[in-house]
A and B are shown apart, each in its own frame.
Chain A
Amino acid sequence: MSPLIPYYRRQLLVAAALGLVAGVLLGSWPTGLVVAAAHLAGAFWAPRSGRFVVDPSRGAAALREDERARANRARASEVALQVMIAAGFLLWLVVRASGQVAVSHGWLAGLVVLGVISQIAAEWHLDRRREHGVGRPARPASRTTSP
């Protein structure tokens, strides 16, 4: 029996809850089913992705991020916040120049979507980052010779 059974059991419950909420809020049960299936697919992929530390002794919380993943997420959040602030300022300038007094909800929702996309893109970029053009450095000569 897989040591990750408690983890999968919890993810099954979360998927059912998400599907239920999506189905009720959107009024479409097929959409709820798709949301639940997408969550389950992600839950099954995660332990095999190499992106999480898998510790079955933690039961339902068997997956956790390591320090590099947390650092990348924090950096990506900074980038997303900066993008949203810059876009918000730009939007404010445009609205002010056009003489309007209110911003439509659509534009504000667009700012949030832009932030989410920035977060995902920045995390993806940071995950694949290498030091600028140098590859792996050679070991210093002083360390390769015996004293």
Chain B
Amino acid sequence: MRVGNCVREARLAADLTQAALAQRVGVTRQTIISVEQVGYTPSVKLALQLADALGTPIAELFWLEPEPDASE
């Protein structure tokens, strides 16, 4: 199972830049980019901070999804 997210959509809906969101939650802009591109799965603490900063319930922001089938 991997962790999917809609941080980018929520950030754009909140009218925030990646740099502004990064500053709000105390991480680098590269970490926000990596989270949005699903290259990095954030810790529970950072996920909660992101949900708080974006005003979105964490269950709406992050979800589990099955690994893509390698044969496809």
Q: Do A and B come from one complex?
A: yes
Question: Residues of A with Cβ closer than 8 Å to B?
Answer: 50-53, 55, 66-69, 71, 127, 129-131, 133-137, 139-140, 143
Docked Cα-Cα span, A127 to B31, in Å, equals 9
Q: A130-B39, A139-B6 are in contact. Are A66 and B28 (CB under 8 A)?
A: yes
Q: A67-B42, A67-B43, A137-B65 are in contact. Are A130 and B37 (CB under 8 A)?
A: yes
Q: A67-B43, A68-B40, A131-B38 are in contact. Are A140 and B4 (CB under 8 A)?
A: yes
Q: Is the CB of A50 within 8 A of B28?
A: yes
Within 8 Å by CB of A136, from B27, B31, B37, B68, lies B37
The DSSP consensus for interface residues of chain B is mixed
Q: A137-B4, A139-B4, A139-B9 are in contact. Are A68 and B28 (CB under 8 A)?
A: yes
Q: Is the CB of B34 within 8 A of A143?
A: no
B55 at the interface (CB under 8 A from A): no
Within 8 Å by CB of B37, from A55, A67, A135, A139, lies A135
Q: Is the CB of B2 within 8 A of A131?
A: yes
Within 8 Å by CB of B63, from A55, A134, A143, lies A143
Q: Tell me the smallest distance from the CB of B26 to a CB of chain A, in Å.
A: 6
Query: Which residues of chain A come closer than 8 Å to B30, judged between CB atoms?
Result: 50-51, 68, 127
A–B Cβ pairs within 8 angstroms, 30 of them: A50-B28, A50-B30, A51-B30, A53-B28, A66-B26, A66-B27, A66-B31, A67-B31, A67-B42, A68-B30, A68-B42, A71-B40, A127-B30, A129-B39, A129-B40, A130-B38, A130-B39, A131-B2, A131-B39, A133-B68, A134-B38, A136-B36, A136-B37, A137-B2, A137-B4, A137-B38, A137-B65, A139-B4, A139-B9, A140-B63
